[in-house]
Amino acid sequence: MSHPRILAFVLAGGRGKRLFPLTSFRSKPAVPFGGRYRIVDFVLSNLVNSRIYSIYLLVQYQSQSLIEHIRQNWVLSPVLRDHFITVVPPQMRTGPEWFEGTADAVFQNINLIREFDPELVVVFGADHIYRMDIRQMIDFHLTNDAEVTVAARPVPIEEASSFGVIVSDSEYRIVSFQEKPRQPASMYGDPNRAYVSMGNYIFNRKGLEDALARAERKKQNDFGSHVLPDMIDTGKIFAYDFSANVMPGTTPYEEKAYWRDVGTIPAFFSANMDILGSSPNFEINNVNWPIHPTRYEGPSARIWRADIKNSVLAEGVFIEKARIVNSIIRCGVTIESGVSVEDCIIMDGTVLKKGCKLKRVIVDKMNVIEEDERIGFDTEADRFRCHIDSSGIAIVPRGGRAKKKHHVKE
């Protein structure tokens, strides 16, 4: 099926409060993930792999790290005019306010839509870990002559109360929305599951402009809460079943239609662990649909002697003599002799000195963990030197130095 002219907006302004302290100095989409990625790399890879090359990235909170990441790693062909990923901070064209919501973010940049003159506008979030062939969703949108298509993910009915629920008929036409309902409506023909919104949308350009203008007059600013419910009466708003998206290169052992909102520390930690193992829930190495990683200019990994099991090691890692189990070690990490790392995420440029032991810990970038330090074994002791999430996971914030606790006389 031939496709019309497409413009994409990626909403990458999320503050990510629930990911604190990983979001102390960066926005949620800029948080490192896996061995060589950042969260934003997943939506950008899905767009580029789907041959959507005209992309505006709307940023807001703590955006410098994200801006630098895009500048260094996401330069498309400057020869082709419509191949670009451009970072757009709040322009404040309608007043001094920052983006007040998802719809307001696009409304404040409606001039970009008019200048590009697309037929379709793709609006996706930047906060999730998944693979998706967006062209299949576009085909669905065109086949149904839709004004709006919303990506929908089937989940067990008992889990749906945590999400925005979509109610659709037998033809996938959306008839209502439920925002985190106590008693979610089930999918048509399946009483055990419900459709939940993924926060990814395809709009016809004219319908989007009209809907944003109505929302602005009503002082409404969110797609999920305001714009989409207001468009239901058109009868042309449809749900695209994400589980029907056929992804080339998917292995039999992967979780079908894998998608994770990594908005909390436990969810972030769990999603990182999902890429480990001989049969991971999410196979990060798919040559048919690559997630494009951060470029690293440095030496190869060097391992002198180590006991390593079920772990990911990135470039520039140096391991002298250590034990590493069920862990992700990012670029440029140094691990000295006698170190034990189990169920951990160790981010770029960190040094783990001799004899230190870590279990179920996230160490943010550019840290030094001192000799014989122990983190993850005594929650009360860890509170003096780390952030302890309610899940019990210890996080050493970026650039901090986890040191031995000094003995102080009572």
Within this chain, do residues 174 and 319 fall inside the same structural domain, yes or no? no
Looking at residue 221, its pLDDT comes to 77
Same-domain check for residues 61 and 207: yes
In a domain? residue 389: yes
**Gap between the Cα atoms of 226 and 212, Å rounded:** 10
Q: Is 112 among the domain residues?
A: yes
Residues 249 and 376 in one domain: no
Q: What is the pLDDT of residue 93?
A: 57
Assign 326 a pLDDT band (cuts: 50, 70, 90).
Answer: very high
3-state secondary structure of 263: coil
**Cis bond upstream, residue 299 (ω within 30):** no
What pLDDT does residue 95 have?
54
What does the block give as tokens for 313?
């090691």
Residue 273 included in any domain: no
The reply to whether 203 and 255 lie within a common domain is yes
Q: Are residues 250 and 343 in the same domain?
A: no
To the nearest whole number, what is the mean pLDDT of the chain?
A: 92
**Contact predicate 354/361, CB 8 Å:** no
| 307, 237: one domain | no
Binding-site annotation: residue ranges: 164, 179-180, 197
For residue 298, pLDDT beyond 90 = no
Which tens digits make up the pLDDT trace of 80-123? 889 999 999 876 555 556 667 788 899 989 999 999 999 999 99
Q: What is the pLDDT of residues 357-403, one digit of tens each?
A: 999 999 999 999 999 999 999 999 999 889 999 999 999 998 855 54
Instruction: Supply the range of the domain harboring residue 308.
Output: 302-402
257 and 326 inside one domain: no
What is the pLDDT at residue 407?
Answer: 34
Q: What is the pLDDT of residue 400?
A: 54
pLDDT digits (tens, 9 = 90+) for 136-152: 999 999 999 999 999 99
Q: What is the CATH number of the domain that holds 242?
A: 3.90.550.10
Residue 20 pLDDT > 60? yes
- At 219-274, the pLDDT tens digits run 887 898 889 999 998 999 999 999 999 999 999 999 999 999 999 999 999 999 99
CA nearest neighbour of 294 among 9, 2, 66: 66
The backbone torsions φ and ψ at residue 204, rounded to the nearest 5 degrees and listed phi first, read: -70, 140
Measured CA to CA in angstroms, residue 320 lies from 49, 185, 403 at distances of: 39, 56, 21
**In total, how many domains does the chain have?**
2
Where does the pLDDT of residue 406 fall: very low under 50, low under 70, confident under 90, or very high at 90 and above? very low
Query: Could you tell me if residue 409 is inside a domain?
Result: no
Task: Examine the fold and report which residue of 195, 228, 261 is the final residue of a domain before the chain moves on.
Answer: 261
Residue 319: which CATH number? 2.160.10.10
What does the pLDDT look like over 183-229, one tens digit per residue?
A: 999 999 999 999 999 999 999 999 999 999 998 888 887 898 889 99
> Following DSSP, what letter does each residue of 176-188 receive, concatenated?
EEEES-SSPPPBT
Higher pLDDT, 233 or 39: 39
Asked if residue 194 and residue 87 are part of one domain, the reply reads yes
Task: Kindly state whether residue 267 falls inside one of the protein's structural domains.
Answer: no
Q: Do residues 116 and 236 share a domain?
A: yes
Q: How confident is the model at residue 78 (pLDDT cuts 50, 70, 90)?
A: confident
Angle at 47 between CA 44 and CA 53, to 5 degrees: 100
26 has pLDDT over 80: yes
Q: Look at residue 238 and tell me if it is in a domain.
A: yes
Q: Give residues with Cβ within 8 angstroms of 151, minimum separation 6.
A: 132, 137, 197, 198, 199, 200, 201, 240, 242
Say if 59 falls within a structural domain. Answer: yes
* C-alpha atoms less than 13 angstroms from C-alpha of 244 in its C-beta half-sphere: 12
Is residue 284 a part of any domain in this protein? Answer: no
Both 186 and 313 in one domain: the answer is no
Does residue 313 share a domain with residue 256? no
Annotated binding site for alpha-D-glucose 1-phosphate: 164, 179-180, 197
67 and 187 housed in the same domain: yes
